[in-house]
């Protein structure tokens, strides 16, 4: 029996990767936990953002530092209407989880990059936050199929990234990796002034078909305003 999992090659903070030469790239983050963590498919009910002791500690640390946590991002993303926004209203969340990681810049500075991920039958959706000081402006010159957008009055860039697949041979104990489909990603400034940092919302399909941009934009319009700390444009 072979089980295949897809994940974007690009991790959060693509602008920082391009400009500041990251030493450690969080390409998967907590993505591989999609295999088993909080799997609700067998129970035929939507998954919830489960929280263990490690998640609680990370959540408290993030709040103390006035940052958002992976658990909070998961909660914002795992809405009852997420399948409808994705264009697959008959589906529900199979897995939902948050993770709190960071990436290390060339100078040794660590940038927190919490993320929340929800998997449906058709789509996987990931929302992450980067706390670097880099603006969105100019990112479109460095990314594939990139175009400028304005989301809820905030500067944004929509771009494409390659995913990779991981095939697990559950009988033989070996795994194989290879190219997957396309992930469509929207990077959005956390405020209308584009003062640095970003939210990154990515979607990709389990069947490697190109994702629907309209679905990504619908999710962004509904989810981002519910994220703690989101600054409404004035």
Residue/partner pairs of 171-180 with CB below 8 Å, 24 or more apart:
171/1, 180/6, 180/7, 180/204, 180/208
232 within some domain: no
108 within some domain: yes
Write the DSSP assignment of 169-195 as a string of letters. Answer: ETTT--EEEEEEEEEEEEEE-SSTT--
30 within 8 A of 54, measured Cβ to Cβ: no
9 within some domain: yes
231 within some domain: no
175 within some domain: yes
153 within some domain: yes
Residue 221 domain boundaries: 2-226
Could you give the CA distance from residue 189 to residue 134 in angstroms, rounded to a whole number? Answer: 10
Contacts with 84 (C-beta within 8 Å, 6 or more apart), sequence order: none
Local confidence pLDDT in tens for the 234 residues of the chain: 333 445 565 444 544 444 332 222 233 333 333 333 444 444 578 899 977 778 888 888 888 888 999 999 999 999 999 999 999 999 999 999 999 988 877 777 888 899 999 999 999 999 999 998 889 998 888 888 999 999 999 999 999 987 766 655 556 666 667 667 889 999 999 999 999 999 999 999 998 899 999 999 999 999 999 999 898 877
Q: Which of 24, 49, 10, 13 is nearest to 200 (CA)?
A: 13
Q: Which of 8, 49, 5 is nearest to 28 (CA)?
A: 8
Q: How many domains does the chain have?
A: 1
């Amino acid at each position: 029996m072979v089980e295949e999992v897809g994940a974007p090659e690009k991790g959060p903070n693509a602008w920082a990767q391009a400009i500041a030469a990251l030493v450690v790239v969080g390409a998967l983050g907590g993505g591989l936990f999609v295999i088993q963590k909080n799997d609700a498919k067998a129970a035929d009910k939507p998954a919830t953002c489960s929280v263990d002791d490690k998640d609680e500690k990370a959540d408290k640390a993030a709040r103390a530092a006035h940052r958002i946590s992976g658990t909070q991002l998961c909660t914002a993303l795992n809405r009852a209407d997420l399948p409808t926004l994705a264009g697959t209203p008959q589906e529900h969340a199979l897995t939902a989880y948050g993770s709190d990681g960071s990436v290390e810049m060339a100078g040794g500075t660590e940038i927190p990059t919490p993320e929340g991920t929800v998997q449906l039958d058709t789509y996987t959706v990931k929302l992450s936050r980067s706390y670097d000081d880099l603006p969105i402006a100019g990112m479109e010159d460095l990314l594939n199929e990139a175009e400028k957008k304005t989301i809820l009055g905030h500067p944004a860039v929509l771009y494409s990234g390659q995913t990779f697949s991981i095939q697990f041979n559950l009988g033989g104990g070996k795994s194989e990796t290879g190219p997957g489909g396309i992930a469509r990603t929207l990077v959005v400034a956390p405020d209308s002034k584009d003062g640095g940092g970003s939210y990154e919302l990515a979607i990709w399909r389990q069947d490697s078909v190109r994702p629907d941009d309209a679905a990504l934009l619908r999710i962004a319009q509904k989810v981002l305003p519910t994220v703690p700390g989101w600054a409404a444009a004035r």
